[in-house]
Amino acid sequence: MRVVQKLLLGLAAPVLALLIAGALASILLAATGADVGAFWETLLKWPEPRNRVNIINSAAILYLSGVAAAVGFRMNLFNIGVEGQYRIGAFVAAVVAGQAFLPGALNTVFAILMAMVAGALWAGIAAVLRVTRGVSEVIATIMLNSIAGLLVGYLIKKVGVRTGNSISTKEIPESSWVSGIPAVPDAGGAEIYGLALLAVVVGIAYYVVITYTRFGFDVRATGASESAAVASGVNVKKMIIISMLISGAIAGLIGMPVLFGQAHNYGSSFQVGIGFSGIAVALLGRNNPAGIAAGALIFAFLSEQGNRLNILVGISPEIVSVTQGIIVLAVVIAYTLVRRYRRRLEQAAVASQLAPPTAGTDGKDGGPGQDPGDGPGNGPDAGPGDGPDLAKSPREEPVK
C-alpha cells in the first residue's frame, strides 16, 4: 500500500507538469489561431523508424548534458557552464583526434579522455574562483560560456582547415570513427551513435556514485544542508572542486557521439545549445538518473516531432521550444506542490501513529503541527500551570 502510494506520488509531479504544459501550449496555439487538434495529432504520432533513431540519438546527448548539470545541482552548485565545457571538450577532442597521435581506437579513447580533461579544467576555473574568491559559480560559468564560444571560434580559425565556405578542425582518420548501431529496423540507414552508449555508462556510474558511495552521500548532504554537512566533517571546498570537475568532465563527453559518429570534425556547424537544454532536462528529471533519462527522451521526442509541424500543419516548430520551456516551469511548480502534499501526509502519519501511546507520563499530545514546515507537536501542554514542570531541574528527574 505504502509502496503504491509512494510510486503514485512520485509520478504525480511529472504527469501533472506535462498536463499543465500541454494545456498552456494548447491555449497559446488557440490564441494564435492555429489548429490545436492537428498540432497534437502530429506531435504525438508514433514516430517513423528514422525519427526514432534521431530521438534516441539526441536523447543520449541530452542525457549526458543533463547528468553533467545534475552532478552540480545535487549539491546546490549551479553549473550553468555545461554549454561552454561541452564546446571546449568537443573542440579539444576533435583537434587531438584529428592529429591522430595514436592509431585507431586508441586515438578515439585518448581524444575522449582529453575532452573530459578539457571540460573539467574549464569547469575547474569556476570552481577555483568560487572556493578561493567566493565568486558565484553561476556568474563565472555564464561568463565562461561566452569566453568558450569566442575562444573556440578563434582557435578554429588558427588551426582549422577551410573547405569552401566553412572552416573546421582537421578530419578524424576513418580508423578512429565509431560506427553506429543498427538497432532500429527499417530506419533507412540511420543508426544509433556508437558512443550513445556513453550515456548508459555515465547514467549507471552516476546512480552508483550518488546512491552508494561516501562521496555521493557527501554531495547529497551538502546539497541538503551545507552547514550540517560541514559539521559532520565534509570538506565543502574540496567537494565543490571535485563536483565541478566531474560535472565538467561529463560535459566534455556530450559532443563525443556526434564527433566520432557523424561529424568527424569540429566546425562552425557543430550543434550549440545542448548544454542549456541539459539544465532543463536535469530539472525535469529532478537530478534523478532515471528521471533525467525520461526528461531527455521527452525533450528529444518533442524536438524531433516538432520538425514535422511546419511541413504537415504549418505551425512553426518554435512552439515546441515554448512547450519545452513551459514544461520545465510546470515541473518546478508541480514538484513543490507534491512535496508539500507529501510532507503533510507524512506528518499526519507520524501524528496518527504516535498519538495514542504517547499520551501518558509526559503529557505529550502528539498532535500534528499547524505549520507545514514543522514537525507534529510532541510537547507538554502549554497551560499556564506548567511553570513548575518547566523549571524542573535535572536532578529531580529519576535516574532510569
Residue numbers of the site for another protein (CB under 8 A)?
212-218, 220-221, 224-225, 227-235, 343, 346-347, 349-350, 353-354, 358, 361-364, 366, 369, 371, 373-380, 382-384, 386-387, 389-397, 399-400
With respect to another protein, which residue has the nearer C-beta, 198 or 221? 221
> How many angstroms separate the CA atoms of 330 and 388, rounded?
53
Write down the least CB distance from residue 235 to another protein, Å: 6
Q: How far is the CB of 373 from another protein (least distance, A)?
A: 8
Cβ partners under 8 Å of residue 396, min gap 6: none
Q: How far is the CB of 365 from another protein (least distance, A)?
A: 10
- Least distance to another protein from the beta carbon of 126, Å? 24
Name the minimum Å distance from CB 346 to another protein.
5
* Closer residue to another protein, CB minimum distance, 4 or 31: 4
Residue 106 or 224: which CB sits closer to another protein?
224
Coil, helix or strand for 380?
Answer: strand
Least Å distance between CB 28 and another protein?
Answer: 35
- 150/224 with CB nearer another protein: 224
CA distances from 227 to 54, 77, 89, 220, 221 (A): 45, 15, 34, 13, 9
| DSSP symbol at 369 | P
State the amino acid at position 243 in one-letter form.
Answer: S
Question: How far apart (Å, rounded) are the C-alpha atoms in residues 85 and 142?
Answer: 11
Instruction: For residue 393, give the amino acid letter.
Output: S
- Residue whose CB is less far from another protein, 185 or 387: 387
R_g (Cα) of the chain, nearest Å? 26
Minimum CB distance to another protein smaller for 186 or for 396: 396
3-state secondary structure of 167: strand
Which C-beta is closer to another protein: that of 41 or that of 386?
386
Comparing C-alpha atoms, which of 362, 366, 365 is closest to residue 389? 362
Minimum CB separation of residue 35 from another protein in Å reads 45
Q: Identify which of residues 160 and 366 has a Cβ nearer to another protein in the complex.
A: 366
Q: Which residues pair with 166 in a beta bridge?
A: 163
CB of 391 to another protein, least distance (A): 6
Three-state secondary structure of 301-355? HHHHHHHHHHHHHCCCCHHHHHHHHHHHHHHHHHHHHHHHHHHHHHHHHHHHHHH
Task: Provide the minimum distance between the beta carbon of 230 and another protein in the complex, in angstroms, as a whole number.
Answer: 6
Find the Cα–Cα–Cα–Cα dihedral 363, 364, 368, 373, rounded to 10°: 120
Closest of 169, 171, 163, 197 to residue 183, by C-alpha: 197
Residue 364 DSSP SS3:
strand
Write out the H or E segment, with its range, that includes residue 243.
helix 236-253
Q: At closest approach, how far in Å is the CB of 394 from another protein?
A: 3
**For residues 357 and 365, what is the distance between their CA atoms, to the nearest angstrom?**
10
Secondary structure (3-state) at 36: helix
Minimum CB separation from another protein for residue 143, in Å?
Answer: 22
Residue type, 142: I
Pairwise CA distance, residues 300 & 376, whole Å: 44
Pick the closer one to another protein by CB: 188 or 387. Answer: 387
8 A C-beta contact, residue 115 and residue 266: no
Q: Which is nearer to another protein, 31 or 231 (CB)?
A: 231
Smaller CB distance to another protein: residue 166 or 225? 225
